[in-house]
Amino acid sequence: MIVDGHNDLLLHLWRGEPTLHLDLDVALAAGFSGGFFAIYIPSPNRPDPSKTPYEVPLPAPIAFEEASRIANELFDELCALPIARATSVSDFRDGEITAIVHMEGAEPIAADLSNLEEWYGRGLRSIGLVWSRANDFAEGVPFRYPSSPDTGTGLSEAGRALVRACNHLGILVDLSHLNEAGFWDVAGLSQAPLVATHSNAHALCAASRNLTDAQLDAICDSNGVVGVNFAVMFLREDGLAVADTPITEIVRHLDYFVQRMGVDHVAFGSDFDGAEISAELGGVAGLPKLIDRLRRRGRREDHTRQLAARPRRHVALDLHLSVSDTLT
């Protein structure tokens, strides 16, 4: 059972576009049991790393009213899918695809947090404070290579209040896309394990979106989790978005995370339907290829474990990829 850290299926459904990677009709057969389905308010600019170095300017912030309207429409798309929605770990069952409602960028949340509990009541259990562009709560990282994630200021007072409120309600605070100053603000403030649902190792690919060793250590020390992003521009050492990228690049980052943090802190965070991924993998139907590649490299693969929750007041939804007990 594979519980994945991130997909952007809802955006394509909302736009009336074909999906790129996540075909729900074949997902179960590939071992995909669901995961974090993103409510993402789109921006016109997308990274185009046809060569490196690259630096993509981020668009202006999106107004709350516009973001709220689109978020409601995306949520309606999710509700129309023939899948379950999880508000607790027990909602995941064999033979079903289950979605965790995730907000990628907190623009649909009012700056005074007046609608946060309403969204919680609708099933929201994970919030990424930013999608790269700045908002009322924080600043994200621009799409830049090479670059560290230290690209701006930390959380605003509204951002700090949002982290505290998420801790109180039991909503995961996703650190993917957040800049380094914001990351350390969350690390110092949050009472829950730190989680980056779809991020990679900066030591292996020096993109601003990737996590430094110090950040990985902090996530591990908090008993948190990182989901490896399948986007090739955040996997490859050269930072290029080249579809002809082998699955071994995903394995390379998995290896690094496991060696740095231990297997219990590593997950899949595919970014299906939101990024250029390896043509060899292809999409959700290619997940067995990735699992087989891990097996053939001489590892004991316990199969991916289902979503787990920490038995504590401030619940973090915890993604575990149990690839091996012997990755050293």
Q: Report whether pLDDT(319) > 60.
A: no
Average pLDDT of the residues in 35-64: 87
Task: Look up residue 153 and give its two tokens.
Answer: 């200021």
Amino acid identity of 2?
I
SS3 37: strand
pTM confidence score: 0.92
Integer Cα distance of 199 and 59 in angstroms:
21
Give one DSSP letter per residue of 143-179, joined into a string: EEES--S--S----HHHHHHHHHHHHHT-EEE-TTB-
Average the pLDDT over 291-295 and give the result. 84
Mean pLDDT of the chain, nearest integer: 89
Q: What are phi and psi of 299, to 5 degrees?
A: -100, 150
CATH number listed for the domain at residues 2-47+55-318: 3.20.20.140
- The pLDDT of residue 45 is 66
Mean pLDDT, range 301-308, rounded to an integer: 34
Residue 19 three-state SS: coil
Give the tens place of pLDDT for each residue, 171-196: 999 999 999 999 999 999 999 999 99
Residues of the chain with pLDDT > 70, as a percent, come to 89
Asked if the model's pLDDT at residue 298 lies above 90, the reply is no
pLDDT level of residue 297 (50, 70, 90 thresholds):
low
With bands split at pLDDT 50, 70 and 90, how would you rate the model's confidence at 294?
confident
The per-residue pLDDT for range 229-280, each reduced to its tens digit, is 999 999 999 999 999 999 999 999 999 999 999 988 999 999 999 999 999 9
**Per-domain residue ranges for the chain?**
2-47+55-318
